Chain A
């Protein structure tokens, strides 16, 4: 069965600092990987996704993630944090077979200090 592990339930960075949110997955088939962001009391918004092709994926709001098959990782980064990046971030892998549902990590809450 597929699973997703997000290291660190809470990450705090200073404004302007590098953001690194870690995600490792387990999958017996080539994975489809996603990062979603959730702002307080809102739904989930897609940041970026990896399906096939280039392993470095660029998303919205300056975020990017790199798929590393050898490390089974899909870490999310942003060179310079902004106050508006404070939110909860979820890594997810798409279930194979006919279901197609997402398997989510437990989430990482990002705080940005002024």
Chain B
């Protein structure tokens, strides 16, 4: 998956628990993204970053937080897990708008 790694691959959380989804890239791209994929809904943007120290909300940011202290890492934090956050989470990286956006293999999260 073109230099984007995500951990863990799968996780089960209880309601109210917290966790951090990790995303690391080795392609030195400035742009990094977090999407969630729900069945029949495509992918929706949660948060994005245009460089270290810069983050902003996407379409569905509620219940999540991010940070970007380095170019390589863009962790996604769930503070109080809810069943509505059951989804598959993909991290994406990209350069200029003309360049391809690459994705990690995804993290499957189940909140019970």
Chain A partners chain B? yes
A43 on the B face (CB < 8 A)? yes
| A43 and B48 alpha carbons, distance in the complex (Å) | 18
| A99 and B51 alpha carbons, distance in the complex (Å) | 11
Count of residues in A whose CB is under 8 Å from the partner chain:
24
Mostly, the A contact residues are: loop
Chain B residues within 8 Å of A, Cβ to Cβ:
1, 31, 33, 35, 40-45, 48, 50, 56, 58, 90, 92, 94, 96-98, 100-106
Instruction: Point out the residues of chain B lying under 8 angstroms from A106, CB to CB.
Output: 40-42
A94 on the B face (CB < 8 A)? yes
Residue on B nearest A4 in the bound complex, by CB: B42
User: Do A101 and B33 form a contact, CB below 8 Å, given A43-B1, A44-B103?
Assistant: yes
| A2 and B112 alpha carbons, distance in the complex (Å) | 35
Contact status B100-A105, CB under 8 Å: no
Contact status B97-A96, CB under 8 Å: yes
Contact status B40-A99, CB under 8 Å: no
Contact status A9-B40, CB under 8 Å: yes
Residue on B nearest A31 in the bound complex, by CB: B97
User: Do A104 and B103 form a contact, CB below 8 Å, given A51-B98, A99-B48, A99-B56?
Assistant: no
Which 6 A-B pairs rank lowest in CB-CB distance, beginning with the nearest?
A104-B42, A51-B98, A43-B105, A106-B42, A44-B103, A104-B43
Instruction: Point out the residues of chain A lying under 8 angstroms from B42, CB to CB.
Output: 4, 90, 104-107
Instruction: Point out the residues of chain A lying under 8 angstroms from B56, CB to CB.
Output: 99
Q: Within the complex, what minimum Cβ distance (angstroms) separates B54 from chain A?
A: 10
| A106 and B98 alpha carbons, distance in the complex (Å) | 22
Q: Within the complex, what minimum Cβ distance (angstroms) separates A2 from chain B?
A: 12
Instruction: Point out the residues of chain A lying under 8 angstroms from B104, CB to CB.
Output: 43
Q: Given A52-B98, A98-B50, A106-B42, output 10 extra A-B contacts at Cβ < 8 Å.
A: A34-B101, A43-B90, A43-B104, A44-B90, A94-B101, A100-B31, A100-B97, A101-B58, A101-B92, A102-B92
Q: List 11 A-B contacts (CB under 8 A).
A: A43-B1, A43-B103, A46-B102, A90-B43, A94-B97, A99-B56, A102-B45, A102-B92, A104-B35, A104-B43, A107-B40
